[in-house]
Amino acid sequence: MKKILAVTGCPTGIAHTYMAEQALKSAAEKAGIEIKVETNGASGVENPITEADIADAIGVIIAADKDVNPDRFNGLPVIEVPVKDGIHKASMLIEKINSGAVAIRKSAKDNSHLSEIHNQHASKESIGRQIYKHLMSGVSNMLPFVVAGGVLIALSFLWGIYSADQNNPQYNEFASLLMNIGSQAFGIMVPIFTGFLAYSISGRPGMVAGFVGGLIANITGAGFLGGIIAGFAAGYLMLIVKRLLDGLPRAFEGLKSIFIMPLIGIFVIGAGMFLLGGPIAVVNNGMKEWLASLQSANPILLGIVIGGMCSFDFGGPINKAAYVTGTMLLGEGNYYFMAGVSAACIVPPFVIAFSTTIFRGKAFTEEERAAGLVNYILGSTHITEGAIPFAAKDPLHVIPIMMFSSAIAAVLTFISHIQVPAPHGGFLVLPLVNKPLIWVGCIFIGALIGAILLGLLRMHEKGKSTVEK
């Protein structure tokens, strides 16, 4: 039997990764083709592809928005697509690999120009797509630090907002320990992001220079914006250095990788960030101050913007832009912004859950109702991606409904002055929210409005299709 290999991976490694895995397996089963799918999820690589698997494969499907070590498949027909294509176009990808009309993936050594080293598949991937993958690789590796560190910081507040201050009557030793651990994890999110962004571009040499660039971005106040600049600069600088040193004898390989490249990378990126850190910090602080002012001056406009961003691509880059902004402001002690972001991210799965419950057989199939029940759990735990299967069926109608619903929840949250000190967790962090019941109410109001609109839309479509028959 023909055997196809596949690799799936999304930035957070929670939902898209496994949805793509299931879709590819189902498509392969229908086509009567054996498939092995390696998942690069939040818990690491599962069902890893071995050398024996590669030797037996007729081709590889890489449906990922992060670095999944594609070089191991050099010499095989390889399709590289976003993880969402693995979910929505699984049958087409299987058919394409099976047809034998897929180009062989070549190694960087086969290319003669520097531009081809970091753009081996320029004909297949746009520059924007490559930049997105590198960014998401950084975000993917940063999120566990943000979530774990942020939740520990939030838990310390259970003993009082000043419980980590030894000079305050609220001081508690265990709360102080939680604060210190959480602050350390939370504090290195920019270096981690920057290091893995650079690693996605040029491997370990890039990671070393990128990590140092991220540390200096923290020191100078350049923050996340400085981290993005340092990450890309480190990654592409090390590609150039590596190219320039390719002519050295093999005997100098150890010296090159351990001494020469790290020394050049750390010095150049470090010096550059110390020079640029100040100006970038001015821009960075200006953006945060503008958002903070908008939060109090025009919460309705801010809620509309945040709600639209969070539900536009369900965990994609626009959603992540809002989420990362929230985590950065969280680190500055602004807990209002994250309350709106979290509410907007939680709403979409609840729209599905409420709609499939309220309208049931009138608008949804038995399979959709079962999926709707799962969305109660996904919504409660801040997993926006649960809405993807429904949005994928009718994106032009469903996505606007989701954006409208999330915007309502975010606006109500900002107007109510709700504070959420944890960057993730959904309803699991309710004990840490200053107005937990009101926050849940804001979310449910937005979700119920969206659920009714979605149910009415589906009933209209169902009635229309019945008339046409």
Q: Catalytic site residues?
A: 10
Question: Rounded to the nearest 5 degrees, what angle is found at the Cα of 116, between the Cα atoms of 112 and 121?
Answer: 130
> Residue 138: which residues within 8 A CB-CB, separation 6 or more?
192, 193, 194, 195, 196, 197, 200, 227, 231
Interatomic CA distance for residues 371 and 173, integer angstroms: 45
Q: Could you tell me if 314 and 345 are in contact, meaning their C-beta atoms sit under 8 angstroms apart?
A: no
Q: What are phi and psi of 386, to 5 degrees?
A: -60, -20
Q: Please state, in angstroms and rounded to a whole number, the distance separating the CA atoms of residues 301 and 459.
A: 32
Give the DSSP per-residue string, 20-79.
HHHHHHHHHHHHT-EEEEEEEETTEEESPPPHHHHHH-SEEEEEESS---GGGGTTSBEE
Query: Do 261 and 241 contact (CB within 8 A), yes or no?
Result: yes
Distance (Å, whole) CA 230 – CA 213: 5
Q: How many beta carbons lie within 10 A of that of residue 257, not counting itself?
A: 15
Name every residue whose Cβ is closer than 8 Å to that of residue 272 and which is 6 or more positions away in sequence: 213, 230, 233
Token pair of 95, please?
Answer: 């058919």
Q: Which value, in Å, is the radius of gyration of the alpha carbons in the chain?
A: 24
Q: Which of 170, 168, 149 is nearest to 160 (CA)?
A: 170
Q: Give residues with Cβ within 8 angstroms of 59, minimum separation 6.
A: 4, 5, 76, 77, 78, 79, 97, 98, 102
Contact 380, 443 (CB under 8 A): no
**Best CA proximity match to 10, nearest among 86, 91, 120, 123:** 86
Instruction: Tell me the CA distances in angstroms from 312 to 17, 88, 356, one per residue in order.
Output: 19, 17, 21
| Residue appearing with tokens 């604060």 | 179
How many whole angstroms separate alpha carbon 177 and alpha carbon 164?
8
Structure tokens at 455: 């149910």
CA angle 433, 148, 278 (to 5 degrees): 95
Largest CA distance in the chain: 77
Using N-to-C axis directions, what is the helix angle for 189-202 and 204-220, rounded to 10°?
Answer: 150
